[in-house]
Structure 1
Amino acid sequence: MERLALRTRLKPGCEEVYDREHAELPAELERAMRAHGLHSWRIYRDGLDLFHVVEVDDYAALQAALRDHPADRAWQARMNRLLDGGFDKDSGGLRLVWELT
């Protein structure tokens, strides 16, 4: 299993909308994500900065499987309107510097 961290940034003024939009993930999207190996996806927000922690069998395979999925395309369009720069599905994530387990 892979654990990775991703970072995105909101456009100013979109904080409340982003939080509200994430109150409920579309069921079809959740089913697709879990079917392709997603274990968990957590998002933390500090002002405009978003920090994602993802646990998945294979992140690249998940993104490839969802790339043309109608539920994911709709979700990405909905979310990317709120993000400064959009969401880079090809990002390998942040580099791990240190970990205490």
Structure 2
Amino acid sequence: MERLALRSRLKPGAEQLYDREHAAIPAELEAAMREHGVRSWRIWREGLDLFHLVEVEDYAAFQAAMKDHPADRAWQEKMNRLLDGDFDKDSGGLRLVWEMT
């Protein structure tokens, strides 16, 4: 199981729309994410900054499987209009500096 943190940033003024649109994601997108190993995906927002915590079996395999998935392509197109720059799912995530377990 991999656990990684990602970040993205909203365009100014997109906060409430982003929150509303993320209140529920399309069922077919959630099913595809689960099918390809995602156990959980949490997003926190502070102002324009978004922080994602992803737990997935194999992130590289998940990315490859979802790259051309119709549900993900439609969702990314919808969300990217709200983001300040593209959401870089290929970054490998933030580097873990410290953890207390």
Give the partner amino acid of 1:4. Answer: L
Query: How many residues matched?
Result: 101
Q: Counterpart of 1:17 in 2: which secondary structure?
A: helix
- Identity rate of aligned residues, in percent? 79
Q: Counterpart of 1:64 in 2: which secondary structure?
A: helix
Maintained 8 Å contact 2:41/2:52:
yes
- 1:70 maps to 70
Report deviation, 1:59.
0.8
- 1:81 maps to 81
Structure 2 residues not aligned, in runs of 5+: none
1:8 corresponds to 2:4: no
- 2:59 maps to 59
Give the partner amino acid of 1:94. Answer: L
Report deviation, 1:22.
0.3
TM-score by length of 1: 0.98
1:29 corresponds to 2:59: no
For 2:33 and 2:9, the matched residues in 1 are separated by: 22
Give the partner amino acid of 1:11. Answer: K
Query: Please, what is the CA RMSD of the aligned residues?
Result: 0.5
Maintained 8 Å contact 2:6/2:89:
no
- 2:39 maps to 39
For 1:97 and 1:85, the matched residues in 2 are separated by: 25
Maintained 8 Å contact 2:9/2:50:
yes
Give the partner amino acid of 1:90. Answer: D
Maintained 8 Å contact 2:15/2:47:
yes
TM-score by length of 2: 0.98
Structure 1 residues not aligned, in runs of 5+: none
1:49 corresponds to 2:49: yes
